[in-house]
Chains A and B, each alone.
Chain A
Amino acid sequence: SQQGEEDPQALSIQEGENATMNCSYKTSINNLQWYRQNSGRGLVHLILIRSNEREKHSGRLRVTLDTSKKSSSLLITASRAADTASYFCATAPNTNNDMRFGAGTRLTVKP
């Protein structure tokens, strides 16, 4: 069964704007990861945030984690057309890394 739930399901923005995607989950976690997927191909790992971390940055990406609310957000700043993809959050309930994915947010960045 799926653990995470992304919101919104779809997001359409103009190039240069920021995109924010949210993820909620149900059980306690060891870590939360964000992935990108282009057109039904393999997933690309973006960033991992551990349960004892609150915020993490990687280039134009900023991820926050609120374990009290069981939620995370992914912010992509200064979006580009190449950022068009589906974005998934995945949680690991334990250290064995059996990831539980949400249904994803479909991001479209218009040039």
Chain B
Amino acid sequence: DAGVTQSPTHLIKTRGQQVTLRCSPKSGHDTVSWYQQALGQGPQFIFQYYEEEERQRGNFPDRFSGHQFPNYSSELNVNALLLGDSALYLCASSFGDLAYEQYFGPGTRLTVT
């Protein structure tokens, strides 16, 4: 049973560029949430996708957008990258709209230079 997978593992981008991160949820899960974790901080909730729609959104600008596909996998897109976007981006999956535990992927380390 595969857990949550994310790609790529590491990524280096330049200010102003755009980036797409990918996530495949744990088998049987249909909800995907994205988090940003700056160094030394806890994860910050970006948004959550359920039934291919954004269901909840944290306090992040519109430069952060996402998508969920029919197979429940998801993408996180960040436009016009800033140095402050450098962080570990974590994807978590869960089941349905109930408050079950979330399973996290290993994360994508994004560095913006």
> B61 to nearest A CB, angstroms?
14
Task: Indicate if the CB atoms of A33 and B101 lie closer than 8 Å.
Answer: yes
Contact with A along B34-48 (1 / 0, CB 8 A): 010101111111001
Instruction: List residues of chain B with CB under 8 Å of any chain A CB.
Output: 4, 31, 33, 35, 37, 39-45, 48, 50, 55-56, 58-59, 88, 90, 92, 94, 97-107, 109
- Asked, given contacts A95-B99, A97-B94, A98-B48, whether A41 binds B106 with beta carbons under 8 Å apart, the answer is yes
Instruction: List residues of chain A with CB under 8 Å of any chain B CB.
Output: 1-2, 4, 30-31, 33, 35, 40-45, 48, 50, 88, 90, 92, 95-104
Question: What's the Cα separation between A92 and B98 when bound, in Å?
Answer: 11
A-B contact pairs, 14 of them (CB 8 A): A1-B44, A1-B59, A31-B99, A40-B107, A40-B109, A42-B105, A45-B102, A48-B100, A96-B97, A97-B94, A98-B33, A98-B56, A99-B35, A103-B41
- Asked, given contacts A42-B90, A42-B104, A45-B103, whether A96 binds B56 with beta carbons under 8 Å apart, the answer is yes
Question: What's the Cα separation between A42 and B59 when bound, in Å?
Answer: 22
> A103 to nearest B CB, angstroms?
5
Task: Indicate if the CB atoms of A96 and B43 lie closer than 8 Å.
Answer: no
Chain B positions within 8 Å of A99 at CB level = 33, 35, 43, 45, 92, 102
